[in-house]
A and B are shown apart, each in its own frame.
Chain A
Amino acid sequence: MLKLRWIALFLSLLLGACSQHVVLSDDFPEPIISQLPQPVVVYISPELRRYVHRHEPEQGADWTIVFGSSQEKLFKSVFAGMFEEVSLVFEEKAIPDDALVLTPVMRDFQFSTPGMSKSDYYEVWIKYSLKLARGGGEPMLNWAFTAYGREEKSGRSAAGAMREASRRAMRDAAAAIVLNFMKQPAAKKLFSVAPAAKAERT
C-alpha cells in the first residue's frame, strides 16, 4: 500500500513537470487620460470571459493559460479611464439599441518559451480587435492590434514567468488602446477629439 502511494506521488510529480497551468487574475490601473463625455457600453462576450489557451505539443510541456476575469478587468479599467460613463454588458441581448458599443475580441494568443526561442525570455503576443458599433448594428470600426509582453527567465518558475509575460502583454494592450484607438478615423470622427496623448486629466 505504501509502495503504491509512493508510485502515485512520483507519477503526479512527473506529470506535473510536463504540464504548466497559468491563471491570470490581475487588476489593471486606470489610464491617465482626458475622459470623453459620450456614454459607452462595453460588451464583454462569454467567449472573451472564458478564453483559455491550450498548447499540447508532441514534445515538451503542455501549457494551459486561463484568462478568467482578467480580460473583464482590463477593458473595464481602460474604458473607465477613457470615458466618463461606462457600463459593462455581459449578454448580447442586454445591449441597448441606441448605445455606442465597444466590443473587445481576442483573436489569437501565441507564446514562446526560452526553450522554443533559444533566448532568455518568455514572450507573449495577443491579437485583439476592438469593434465600435451603434447598438447591435454593423460595426463602424473593427480595429485589430497586437500586444506584446515578455519576462526574463531568471528568478521565476516557468508558470510565473509566463503569467508575468501575459500580464505585460495585457498592459501593452491597454497602452495600445490609449495611444491608437482615437487615431482610427471612425473613432476620431465619432468622438471628435484630439489624439489621446495630449490628454490632461489627472
Chain B
Amino acid sequence: MRCWPAAFALLLTAILGGCVSSSVEQLRQAPVGVLKEGETIVVLGRRQNFRHQTEADFTRCVQNTLTRKKLPVKAEQDFMDEMFPWFQPRMAPTTAEALAKRLQEPAIADRLKQTGTRYIVWLDGITRRGEDGGSLSCSVGAGGGACLGLLWWEDDAEYEAVIWDMQTLKSMGKIAVEASGTSYVPAVIIPIPLVAPTQSAACRGVANQIGEFLTKAIQ
C-alpha cells in the first residue's frame, strides 16, 4: 500500500522537477585577436570584502568550462599571485571602469605583458534567493516516520562577463546572463529535494558564449 504515495511523489517531482529558464545576451565591441604561443586567458570574479562578491564556485565553473573547450586558461589564484596585491579584495576594482583604469597603470600593464595574460574575463553578479513558500511536516511513531507537504523556493541568477584584451587595453565584448529556477521539496512519506541548478545554468550560458567568443582566438 505504501508504494502508491511514493509513486505519487515521484510523479509529482517528475512534473514539477526543479526547472530553470535562462536568457543570454552578447554584445561584441571589437574583433578577437589570435592568441600567440604562451598567452593565456584569466577568469576573475568580482571580489570585495563584506559586500557583494561573485561566488568562487561560479568563477571556478566558468573557468573549468573554458578549460574543457581547450582554451589556455590560467588559474585565478596564479593570476592573483602574479599581480599581488592589486587584485586582493581590499584593492580589487569593483566596477568594469575601475578595472579598466587599474589595467592601464604602467606597472600592472607591464606585468600582464611579462606573464602572458592576453584576455581577462571579468565576472560580476550573484545568485540570490527569491520567494519561498509551502509547508512540510514530519512525524515519528511506533510504526515508523513519515513526512507530508511541499516546500518551494526561487533562485535568481544575474551575471555579466566583460572580456578585456590586454594588448589593446580595451573591452572586446560583454555577455549578460539571467537565469531563474524554482526548487521543490515534495514529501509524501519521504521528502525528495529537487533543487533547480540555477547557478549552473547561468554558468553554462555565460561560459558557452565566452567560449564562442574566444575560440576564434585559438583558430
Q: Are B106 and A32 in contact (CB under 8 A)?
A: no
B84 touches A29 (CB 8 A): yes
Task: Judge whether A201 is part of the interface by a CB distance below 8 angstroms.
Answer: yes
Q: Which of A161-193 contact B (CB under 8 A)?
A: 168, 171-172, 174-176, 178-179
- With a cutoff of 8 Å between Cβ atoms, the chain B residues found around residue A155 in the complex are 57
Q: Is B28 an interface residue (CB 8 A)?
A: no
> Which of B87-95, B136-144, B149-157, B163-171 touches A?
B87-95
Establish whether residues B90 and A32, one from each chain, have CB atoms under 8 Å apart when the complex forms: no
Report yes or no: A175 in contact with B85, Cβ–Cβ below 8 A.
yes
A150→B86 contact, CB < 8 A: no
Q: Which residues of B sit under 8 angstroms from A148, Cβ to Cβ?
A: 49-50
A154 engages B57 (CB within 8 Å): yes
Residues of chain B contacted by A176 (CB below 8 angstroms): 90
* Known contacts A154-B57, A202-B114, A32 near B89 by CB under 8 Å: no
Interface size class of chain B, counting residues whose CB lies under 8 Å from the partner chain: 20 to 34
CB distance from A77 to the nearest CB of B (A): 9
B residues 109-138 near A (Cβ < 8 Å) are 110-111, 114
Are B49 and A29 in contact, with the CB atoms below 8 A? no
Q: Is the CB of A174 within 8 A of B91?
A: no
By a CB distance below 8 angstroms, the chain B residues around A150 are 49
Q: Which among A32, A174, A175, A179 is the interface contact of B111 at CB below 8 angstroms?
A: A32
Rounded to whole angstroms, the CA-CA distance of A152 and B93 in the bound complex is 21
A62 within 8 A of B: no
**Given the complex of chains A and B, what is the CA–CA distance between A34 and B55 in angstroms?**
33
A47 at interface, CB cutoff 8 A: no
Name the interface residues of A1-53: CB closer than 8 Å to any CB of B. 28-34
Number of residues on chain A facing chain B (CB within 8 A) = 24
Is the beta-carbon distance between B56 and A201 smaller than 8 angstroms?
A: no
Q: Cα distance A28–B88 when bound, in Å? A: 12
Q: A172-B90, A175-B91, A179-B91 are in contact. Are A202 and B111 (CB under 8 A)?
A: yes
Which residues of A from 135 to 158 have beta carbons under 8 Å from B? 148, 150, 152, 154-155
Q: Is B212 an interface residue (CB 8 A)?
A: no
Enumerate A84-121 residues with CB–CB distance to B below 8 Å.
Answer: none
Interface assignment of A61: CB less than 8 Å from any CB of chain B: no
Which residue from A29, A154, A168, A200 sits with its C-beta under 8 Å from B107? A200
List A contacts of B114 (CB < 8 A).
Answer: 202
Q: Is the CB of A199 within 8 A of B81?
A: no
Whether the Cβ atoms of A175 and B90 lie closer than 8 Å is yes
Query: B217 an interface residue at 8 Å Cβ cutoff?
Result: no
- What 1/0 flags go to B173-192 for Cβ under 8 Å of A? 00000000000000000000
**B56: which A residues are within 8 A, CB to CB?**
152
Q: Tell me the complex Cα distance, A101–B45, Å.
A: 38
Q: A148-B50, A171-B85, A179-B91 are in contact. List 8 more A-B contacts (CB 8 A).
A: A29-B81, A29-B82, A32-B86, A148-B49, A152-B56, A174-B84, A175-B88, A202-B111
- Interface residues of chain A, those whose CB is within 8 Å of chain B, are 28-34, 148, 150, 152, 154-155, 168, 171-172, 174-176, 178-179, 199-202
A-B contact pairs, 19 of them (CB 8 A): A28-B84, A29-B84, A30-B84, A32-B83, A32-B84, A32-B108, A32-B111, A33-B107, A34-B107, A152-B56, A154-B57, A171-B85, A172-B90, A175-B91, A179-B85, A201-B107, A202-B110, A202-B111, A202-B114
Interface pairs A-B: 6 shortest CB-CB: A175-B85, A29-B84, A175-B88, A202-B110, A175-B90, A29-B81
